[in-house]
Amino acid sequence: MEAINNLLGGSMVPDVLFYVFAALTLLCGVLVVANPFSRNPVTSAMFLVLTIISMAGLFVLLHAFFLAAVQIIVYAGAVIVLFLFVIMLLDLKEEQRRKIKLFGALTGLISVGAIVVISLKALGAMPPGQNGTAPQLEGGTEALGKLLFTQYVLPFEVVSVLLLVAMVGVILLSRKDLK
Amino acid sequence: MHAGLEQYLTVSFLLFGLGLLGVIMRRNLLVIYMSLELMLNAANLALVSFSRFNDKLDGQVLVFFIITVAAAEVAVGLALIVALYRKRQSAHVEDLTTMKL
């Protein structure tokens, strides 16, 4: 933690690292959605792992150390393994042959481009001023845990009930004789 | 250029757009699900950067809950996809036309 803080303390290093991780995140995101070389879901899952890991790097740059660790453990560790298990369970040989429809791609590009342009314009209209001050926030385990078990203890308990419900639901859904 | 709130939000918006594009364009249910994960991650990035540049930890607590709910959602969704595949032998949205008039 101390070494990371020293590294992040320099003036130029975090900015350069931000651009590296941002470029990596967006590049791998493009390769998840539209890989020109392969339409295999396994390739998409692998690039999703890379996207999530570089996003954990962005979290570290934002001093959210606990969330960076959780991101790697939960997403790259558990969610992607679940995805790969399901890809193995399903026989997806047939899926590779199908082409992306030109009409769907075109309308999708137009609508998504419009949404992204609108949000970037809104961002450009934001009054400047936040950038000058250096924030002092540290998202370590201790601070986050203290907040989680005092102010947010009710949502924490509700989430545990939600996880239980999800577990029961998954067991019910994966029965062989599903009605 | 200094990496401030605007730069992080730009990355978040672009990533959200990519995820939305994947949901609209791709026809494989699993890849659509992965694009949904991308959109959730873009929202997480926006929340963490807001939390950092407003000096409040509440955003990070919200991201913690989002990650938990996303894990539960992935488990249920993938179980649904497997159950669907058992019935129809396909994980392709164009083959699922039961509700079409």
Q: Is A34 on the interface with B (CB under 8 A)?
A: yes
Decide if pLDDT at A29 tops 90.
yes
pLDDT of A28 reads 94
Of the pLDDT bands very low, low, confident and very high (cuts 50, 70, 90), residue A1 is low
Higher pLDDT, A55 or B25: A55
Give the pLDDT of residue A178.
66
pLDDT of residue B87: 85
Contact check, Cβ <8 Å, B64/A123: no
Chain B contact for A118 (CB, 8 A cutoff): no
Query: Hey, of B16, B47, B66, B74, which one would you mutate to test binding to chain A, going by the most A CBs within 10 A of its CB?
Result: B74
- pLDDT given for residue A104 in this prediction: 80
Q: Mean of the pLDDT values across residues A31-56?
A: 89
CB within 8 Å: A115 and B20: yes
Q: pLDDT tens-digit profile of A92-134?
A: 665 556 666 788 888 889 999 999 999 999 988 877 665 555 6
Per residue in B17-75, pLDDT (tens digit) is 999 999 988 888 899 999 999 999 999 999 999 998 888 889 999 999 999 999 999 99
For A136-178, the pLDDT digits (tens) are 677 788 888 899 999 999 999 999 999 999 999 999 988 877 6
Is residue A8 very low, low, confident or very high in pLDDT (cuts 50, 70, 90)? Answer: low
- What is the tens place of the pLDDT at every residue in B73-90? 999 999 999 988 888 888
> Looking at residue B33, what is its pLDDT?
92
State ipTM: 0.91
Nearest to B2 by CA among A131, A58, A17: A131
Does the distance separating the beta carbons of B21 and A82 come in below 8 Å?
no
pLDDT, residue A179, reads: 62
3-class state of residue B92 by DSSP: strand
What span, in angstroms and rounded, lies between the C-alpha atoms of A68 and A139? 10
Label residue A10 by pLDDT band (50, 70, 90).
low
What's residue A93's pLDDT? 65
The partner residue sitting opposite B76, judged by closest CB among A15, A147, A169, is A169
